[in-house]
């Protein structure tokens, strides 16, 4: 089961969040787009209120979401994906290029990344061991292992009390930890390319889309451009929300047929 919210009317847009997140992370983007588009804001499998899978990689996630699109009869839509959601969007577009009218990828490239999240998984494990009964204590535990307040607040959104009053992760912590190396891999292309309009949005302060990555981008997505957002890190939609939303609306509007 894929949990989602829908807002607005118009051409379909599918929003895909990043690792450890949920659809609500992109609600400001959804609000900006909903006057012009039908916006589907999903929780990725293993995240938020969506079902947990027995195994996971970029292709499995992409197949799961394509099956969900089939279930709801969404035969054409635009893709907007951040980080892990961007990798999944790329795989979806490479698999069924005629289905997706355009694609906007936020601060990720179609390459394999180093396994850099072990400190976050460690902090998440320590929180489970602490059996916290208050959100404040949960954040204190996370703060002992993580330096960035932004990451602590971000992770805290995925905490809920269980029946015993203890805070647990609503995301599939064990599954994500086990298969995270597979999520670091580049999306498999099978020799395919996606020729429809594509925009990669890069945060100025982020190193997720390097100069070296640009060849991989142009090889798989020959009709692509890269836009830099000044003053933004990896969470471009948070750091420079107004600027980012304006870029998204302009790009989708230029590649949509409005009635």
CA distances from 133 to 79, 173, 174, 250 (A): 39, 19, 21, 45
Q: Are the CB atoms for 58 and 19 separated by under 8 Å?
A: no
Catalytic residue among 30, 83, 95, 224: 83
Catalytic residue among 96, 174, 188, 214: 174
Catalytic residue among 17, 47, 82, 234: 234
122 is catalytic: no
71 is catalytic: no
| Beta strand spans in the chain (E) | 4-7, 12-16, 38-42, 77-82, 100-106, 159-161, 167-169, 198-203, 224-229
Q: Six-digit token pair at 62?
A: 């992409």
241 is catalytic: no
Q: Are the CB atoms for 115 and 180 separated by under 8 Å?
A: yes
Q: Are the CB atoms for 181 and 115 separated by under 8 Å?
A: yes
Distance CA 226, CA 214 (A): 9
Cβ-based burial of 3 (10 A; exposed 0-12, middle 13-18, buried ≥19): middle
| Catalytic positions, written as ranges | 83, 174, 234
């Amino acid at each position: 089961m894929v949990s989602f919210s829908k807002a607005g009317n118009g051409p379909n847009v599918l929003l895909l969040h990043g690792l450890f997140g949920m659809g609500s992370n992109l609600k400001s983007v959804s609000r900006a787009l909903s006057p012009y588009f039908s916006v589907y804001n999903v929780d990725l499998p293993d995240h938020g209120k969506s079902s947990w899978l027995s195994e996971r990689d970029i292709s499995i996630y992409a197949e799961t979401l394509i099956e969900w699109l089939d279930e709801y009869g969404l035969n054409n839509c635009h893709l907007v994906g951040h980080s892990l959601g961007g990798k999944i969007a790329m795989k979806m577009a490479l698999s069924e290029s005629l289905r997706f009218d355009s694609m906007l990828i936020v601060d990720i490239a179609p390459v394999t990344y180093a396994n850099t999240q072990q400190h976050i998984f460690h902090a998440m494990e320590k929180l489970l061991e602490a059996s916290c009964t208050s959100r404040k204590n949960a954040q204190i535990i996370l703060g002992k292992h993580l330096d960035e307040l932004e990451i602590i607040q971000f992770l805290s959104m995925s905490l809920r009390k269980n029946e015993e009053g203890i805070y647990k992760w609503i995301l599939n912590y064990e599954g994500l930890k086990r298969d995270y190396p597979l999520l670091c891999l580049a999306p498999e292309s099978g020799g395919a390319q996606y020729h429809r309009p594509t925009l990669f949005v890069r945060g100025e302060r982020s190193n997720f889309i390097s100069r070296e990555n640009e060849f991989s981008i142009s090889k798989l997505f020959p009709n692509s451009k890269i836009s830099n957002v000044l003053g933004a890190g990896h969470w471009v939609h948070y750091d420079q929300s107004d600027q980012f939303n304006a870029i998204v609306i302009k790009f989708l509007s230029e590649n949509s047929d409005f009635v």
